[in-house]
Amino acid sequence: MQTRKLGPFTTSCIGFGCMNITGGYGRTSAADAITVLQTAFDVGYRFFDTAALYGYGESEELVGKALKGQRHDILLASKCGLQRDKQGQRELNGRPERIKQVCEQSLKLLQTDVIDLYYLHRVDPNVPIEESVGAMADLIQAGKIRSIGLSEISSEQLIRGHKEHPITAVQSEYSLWSRTPEVAVFDVCDELNIAFVPFSPLTRGFLTGQYRDHSQFDETDLRAKMPRFSEQNLPKNLALLPEYNAIANKVGCTPAQLALAWVLAERNQSMLPIPGTKHLNYVKENALAAEVSLDETTRAQLNNLINESSVVGERYSAQQMSTTDSEQEKQRLSA
């Protein structure tokens, strides 16, 4: 696979998102998850992205088991700030002592001495961003992590965090139908030479054409409560697919590869998308997107067809949206 720079690192231009192997869009077995991770390495992925939140540590544990033998050949990313508390509930906590405690837990689960890229998963509204980033800077000094990332951050928070310690990467949702970072975050990333790591670059599977009815999502699937996949909105959004699929046919790639190729073509080589899957065939299909080239005419067609004006429904329901997500949406809506 082609490579790109991510701060001080050089890694595969497409990374592997490790949320799906432990849920989010339905579960898979531990054995199958390990096979998927090892296959991803075999076909060229060298950037693996997990988090303390994913499966409440199970994803990190599976990544550690599957890729321990390849540790020195991969860029390993994880996240703190969202995790499970002592009562077993989801916890948003960006306090310095909690960040350091979670990092120690992650290092054990990942079976490694150091995490290459460590993100603050979400900003804790009760903790100044400077304090959270400062704790992560302490982890760099201690040799526990190599670089700092921020996830779903607003432009103002990114500037403040970067002043505390240089930020290597920003991770947020970005795809043909989720363009919020274009409002202000991209400008800050360009100014400060910060890489951008888009999650959900495949529009949570929508552009693959695999999901035609709301009933396909069970109660464990995040999309069941997402407005764009609702019973009312999904049929309206599906009307975009015939023309989209025609563009994919013209380019000579699959719909999923077209979505990834569009992301890879944005922002002058500084994008490193991290699609995730629990299916072996999709692991291989997504990797081949690195070989798809889009001309300016095709990119313009895609931009005109699918964007936040043509898609019906917001990214998240009110119950799913975090404080930082809300700040980003305010930026987009006020632009």
Active-site residue, from 25, 45, 54, 244? 54
Rounded Cα distance, 85 and 312, in Å: 36
Query: Does residue 84 lie in a domain region?
Result: yes
Nearest residue to 17 via CA among 30, 6, 33: 33
Query: Does residue 285 lie in a domain region?
Result: yes
Write down the pLDDT at residue 318: 64
The H or E element containing residue 198 is strand 195-199
β-pairing, 117-120 with 75-80?
parallel
pLDDT at 326 over 60: no
For residue 319, what pLDDT band results from cuts at 50, 70 and 90? low
pLDDT in tens, 252-307: 999 999 999 999 998 877 899 999 999 999 999 999 999 999 999 999 999 999 98
In the chain, the percentage of residues whose pLDDT exceeds 70 is 94
- Residue found by looking up tokens 């990114």 in the block: 158
Q: How far is CA 71 from CA 66, 74, 116, 166, 284, in A?
A: 10, 6, 10, 25, 21
Query: Does residue 223 lie in a domain region?
Result: no
Write down the pLDDT at residue 321: 54
Q: Is 54 a catalytic residue?
A: yes
* Mean per-residue pLDDT over the chain, rounded: 91
For residue 323, what pLDDT band results from cuts at 50, 70 and 90? very low
pLDDT at 330 over 70: no
- Cα torsion 218, 178, 102, 58 to 10°: value is 30
pTM here?
0.91
Q: Are 206 and 178 in contact (CB under 8 A)?
A: no
Instruction: Compute CA 69 distance to the chain's CA centroid, rounded to the nearest angstrom.
Output: 24
CATH number, domain containing residue 31: 3.20.20.100
Query: Does residue 26 lie in a domain region?
Result: yes
Write down the pLDDT at residue 276: 93
pLDDT in tens, 45-67: 999 999 999 999 999 999 999 99
The conformational region for residue 115 under phi > 0 = left, psi -120 to 50 = alpha, else beta, is: beta
Q: Which residue would you say has higher pLDDT here, 308 or 214? A: 308
Q: What are phi and psi of 75, to 5 degrees?
A: -95, 115
Q: Which residue would you say has higher pLDDT here, 286 or 321? A: 286
Q: Which residue would you say has higher pLDDT here, 75 or 21? A: 75
Q: How many domains does the chain have?
A: 1
Q: Are 80 and 120 in contact (CB under 8 A)?
A: yes
pLDDT at 329 over 70: no
pLDDT at 324 over 50: no
Q: Are 14 and 290 in contact (CB under 8 A)?
A: yes
> What six digits make up the tokens of 182?
């274009």
Angle, CA 45 vertex, CA 204 and CA 9 arms, to 5° = 105
Query: Does residue 154 lie in a domain region?
Result: yes
Rounded Cα distance, 47 and 274, in Å: 8
pLDDT at 328 over 60: no
pLDDT in tens, 120-157: 999 999 999 999 999 999 999 999 999 999 999 999 99
Write down the pLDDT at residue 254: 97
For residue 322, what pLDDT band results from cuts at 50, 70 and 90? low
Query: Does residue 53 lie in a domain region?
Result: yes
Give me the domain span that covers residue 135.
3-205+255-294
Instruction: Compute CA 254 distance to the chain's CA centroid, rounded to the nearest angstrom.
Output: 21
pLDDT in tens, 203-248: 988 898 777 777 777 777 788 888 888 889 999 999 999 999 999 9
Rounded Cα distance, 192 and 215, in Å: 44
pLDDT at 332 over 50: no
Rounded Cα distance, 57 and 270, in Å: 29
C-alpha distance across the termini of the chain, in Å: 37
